[in-house]
Structure 1
């Protein structure tokens, strides 16, 4: 089951991230498909950033036409940001298109993160049904908040990188 074993954020980690990430510049790159799901994912990412004290002035939000375009926007965003949070949703249809988009977006976002050294939060939902996506979108009644989780993962990775760089 999705969500089983999900990372929890305790108060100590939250305080550490509030201290280490307060000056981070963050880009949120979000797809425009499936508006209700995307509204939830984006709200979750922004909620996490506010919790750790990252001001709205330090956050750039970019709008991707679809999930396929997330990697190219993420790559450009990585050039001027400490953290990129990529948010999108692909819902399986009756053709192989789902597989191609999911694979290309996943590989592209991985490449951006590794080639630039900028953490990319992976908030790309790849679901069989719209109900599955809604259940992960962080909306009222959702069992998971993948936008929040993607933001946390990327910021936490950036904080660890900052430790290495002294």
Structure 2
């Protein structure tokens, strides 16, 4: 999903969409303007397809997998959500911290996808600069929040 040329991603032809679908967005406080824009992109798609959603907020990207797992544990007996989307933005700095955070959150989301019965969509931008992040929230690289929401809908209905 690195380029905007993946036009088939935006086509939802999964037949009848689940009418009571619910997605939980789990977003970070770090880089809030970027992450808020990712969330807004998700919301636009969910409103278009009448998907229910709620948002949880965590301090940073490393906390995303824990919050998702805890929410599932607390809610699955009552039905739980049909999918999760992890939203964040990690911008490279001068230390190896970037690499550790990116690896940790990536592996955490992978483990959730292997252990939970519902999908967890990776909506975390891992970029070198803020300019690159802005290019991915409606700029030359499309809108990764919208793409994450479309991916969740497709996975719910697959």
If the TM-score is normalised by the length of the shorter chain, which range does it land in?
0.7 to 0.9
Q: Deviating runs (4+, > 4 A) in structure 1?
A: none
Corresponding residue for 2:63? 69
Corresponding residue for 1:150? 148
* Greater relative contact order (CA < 8 Å, ≥ 6 in sequence): 2
Aligned-partner Cα distance in 1 for 2:13–2:99: 36
Corresponding residue for 1:83? 83
Per the normalisation by structure 2, the TM-score is: 0.87
Contact 1:32 1:64 in 2 (8 A): yes
* Structure 1 residue 76 displacement after superposition: 2.4
2:39 is the counterpart of 1:45: no
Q: Which structure dedicates a bigger proportion of its chain to strand?
A: 2
2:28 is the counterpart of 1:31: yes
Aligned-partner Cα distance in 2 for 1:30–1:36: 11
Name stretches of at least 5 consecutive residues in structure 2 with no aligned partner.
Answer: none
Q: Which structure dedicates a bigger proportion of its chain to helix?
A: 1
Structure 1 residues 115-136: Cα deviation after superposition (integer angstroms, max 9, x where no partner): 0121111100000001000110
Matches within 5 A, 1:8-19: 8-10=9-11, 13=13, 16=15, 19=16
Aligned-partner Cα distance in 1 for 2:61–2:140: 21
Per the normalisation by structure 1, the TM-score is: 0.83
SS state at 2:81 partner? coil
SS state at 2:93 partner? coil
SS state at 2:122 partner? strand
* Structure 1 residue 142 displacement after superposition: 5.3
Contact 1:28 1:87 in 2 (8 A): yes
* Structure 1 residue 109 displacement after superposition: 0.8
Name stretches of at least 5 consecutive residues in structure 1 with no aligned partner.
Answer: 161-166
Aligned-partner Cα distance in 1 for 2:71–2:151: 17
